[in-house]
A = this chain, B = another copy of it.
Amino acid sequence: MTVKVKLGDNNYGKADVRLFKVFRDRPQHDIKDVQVRVAVTGDFEAAHSVGDNTGLVATDTMRNLVYALARDGLTGSIEAFGQHLAAELMARGPRVTGARVTLTEHTWARLMSGGQPHDHSFVRQMPKHTATVERTAGDTQVESGIDDLYLLKTTNSGWAGFHRDEFTTLPETHDRILATVVSARWTYRTPDCDHDDVWQRAYTALLDVFPDHYSPSMQHTLYRLGEAVLDRCPEMERVHFSFPNRHHILYPLERYGMTNPGTIFHADAEPYGVIEGWVERA
């Protein structure tokens, strides 16, 4: 082989680590159900180019670390645990210079029993709480997010006034169904905050604002949701949304001699629109 090559940006780690913690030191058990992915960066040149593993931390060790640190280090939010875990990953072996931790928390609600919250039984809830921690020698970045939040409104949404050219066949509408699955993430200007409390306020803001306005576009709703979230969460720096636009298409019942006054729809699986953007403090 005559080609001369070198190693570029690289990282390695462990994905789909399924961590589950029970807090038994209280009258009612609490739980944390978290899917974790960890990765490190550093001086891994020799391992790649000549197969010398000296100083390399094994991904199996990283996995062990997730469980071991969770014992005493996972006490509150996944954001706090992620920072702790990233710091410990940085200390694994002589070669690591950066760490990234990605966490997805499944949310569970406590079951009720005889009108009272049950002390050890839970039912899974829909939205997920996500977080990412990026750490290098001099810096730590924390992002949090919400995933799998399905929202839908049957009216008070439209799409009109847009550009038309020879490939435009979509009619304008001032009354359509708007349906999406919220995927949100945000950065912080106040790193040392109560991340779970921020998450709860952001979640509530989404539920409050989604229905409260006429939506001329998914883009405008994105902006209003971002504005509301930043308003209620002064700890946030900026927020990003990725919105699939799950199209609900009026089914052409007139072919069978029927009217269809906004009643019967085909909920199209694909293709779907995607609207993405950051809303930032001005």
Contacts and interface: CB of A to CB of B under 8 A. Distances in A.
B263 A71 contact: yes
A146 to B, nearest CB: 12
B170 A8 contact: no
A263 B22 contact: yes
A211 B28 CA distance: 13
A137 interface: no
Contact of A274 (B14, B123, B253, B267): B14
Contact of A18 (B9, B11, B13, B270): B270
A92 B163 contact: yes
Contact of A16 (B155, B212, B272): B272
A189 interface: no
B3 A281 contact: yes
A45 B248 CA distance: 26
A52 interface: yes
Interface string A1-16: 1111111111111111
Contacts of A63: 271
Interface in A165-216: 165-170, 177, 207-208, 210-212, 216
B51 A10 contact: no
Contacts of A39: 274, 276
B58 A5 contact: no
Interface in A12-50: 12-24, 29, 31, 33, 37, 39, 44, 47-50
Contact of A48 (B11, B222, B240, B271): B222
Contacts of A97: none
Given A15-B270, A263-B71, A64 B227 contact: no
Given A7-B280, A39-B274, 19 more contacts: A5-B280, A6-B281, A8-B238, A8-B280, A10-B278, A12-B218, A16-B272, A22-B177, A22-B263, A44-B219, A63-B271, A64-B256, A68-B253, A71-B264, A93-B165, A111-B210, A120-B153, A124-B150, A166-B256
25 contacts: A1-B228, A4-B281, A4-B282, A5-B280, A8-B280, A10-B219, A10-B275, A12-B276, A14-B272, A17-B270, A51-B216, A53-B161, A54-B162, A56-B162, A58-B163, A60-B170, A61-B167, A64-B169, A65-B167, A67-B253, A94-B163, A111-B151, A113-B208, A121-B211, A269-B270
Interface of A: 1-24, 29, 31, 33, 37, 39, 44, 47-61, 63-65, 67-68, 70-71, 92-95, 108, 111-113, 118, 120-126, 149-156, 159-163, 165-170, 177, 207-208, 210-212, 216-220, 222-223, 226-228, 230-231, 238, 240, 244-245, 248, 251, 253, 255-258, 260-282
